[in-house]
Homo-oligomer: A and B are copies of this chain.
Amino acid sequence: MGRPARIDRDGVLAAGLAIADDLGLEALTMGAVADRLGVTPMALYRHVVNKADLLDGIVELLLTEHPGAPADAPWEDRLSQLAHAIRDTARRHPSVFPLLLQRPATTSAARGARNSVYLALREAGVNEDRIAQTERLVSTAILGFAVSEVSGRFRDHSRRQLDADFRRLQGMLAQFIDTESRIG
């Protein structure tokens, strides 16, 4: 006989993300998530297979957070917007974001994000058989910077300085893409 579910997977993931954002990754326990949902820890196991699955789901949330850039803007602007969106996501979720650099981007949300970059690089004139490699290097540089920034590696630097660093990083990547497109 069915009982109406009081919690669901999305709710569990959202509660977990909120805890990590507010209190840090080590405060993200099954008990804390359960408390926030008004339920016992054991109830969570119907909705996530274990804590690793919970973490995977939370990281996946980050990828679906921002919509893709408008397709009509010039590719330079779209790439720049994408970079800023990544940086903003990192700032909103400093505890969870670093995990993005540590798992294979094989989910459909990850593929979607990657494809936005592919489209822009194609439009930039990068040769087809160089696009995947160029995307890896560009994305890795942006992610690496965002992780460093939100997890404290640049703790001693001002926001102003980090903004300047980020602009310079974007300049470096633009130059790189430009060179790639000439190799064609």
Q: Is A137 an interface residue (CB 8 A)?
A: yes
B101 contacts A151, C-beta separation under 8 Å: yes
Q: Is the CB of B154 within 8 A of A136?
A: yes
Stretch in A28-36, A39-47, A79-87, A141-149 with 4+ CB within 8 Å of B: A141-149
The segment from A4-12, A66-74, A120-128, A165-173 found at the interface with B is A165-173
Q: Is A107 an interface residue (CB 8 A)?
A: no
A168 → chain B closest CB, angstroms: 6
A25–chain B nearest beta-carbon distance, Å = 11
**Closest beta carbon of chain B to A130's beta carbon, Å:** 9
Q: Could you say how many copies of this chain the assembly holds?
A: 2
Name the distance in Å between A29's Cβ and chain B's nearest Cβ.
Answer: 15
Contacts of A176 in B (CB 8 A): 172, 175-176
Q: Is the CB of B102 within 8 A of A152?
A: yes
Cβ of A98 < 8 Å from any Cβ of B?
yes
A169 vs B156: C-alpha distance when bound (angstroms): 27
Q: How far is the CA of A183 from the CA of B106 in the complex (A)?
A: 40
CB of A146 to closest CB in B, whole Å: 9
Q: How far is the CA of A152 from the CA of B106 in the complex (A)?
A: 11
Asked if A144 and B140 sit within 8 Å, CB to CB, the answer is yes
Give chain B residues whose Cβ lies under 8 Å from the Cβ of A102.
Answer: 98, 147-148, 151-153
A158 within 8 A of B: no
Q: List 17 A-B contacts (CB under 8 A).
A: A98-B102, A101-B148, A102-B148, A103-B151, A103-B153, A104-B152, A104-B153, A104-B155, A105-B153, A133-B165, A136-B165, A137-B165, A137-B168, A140-B144, A141-B144, A144-B147, A147-B147
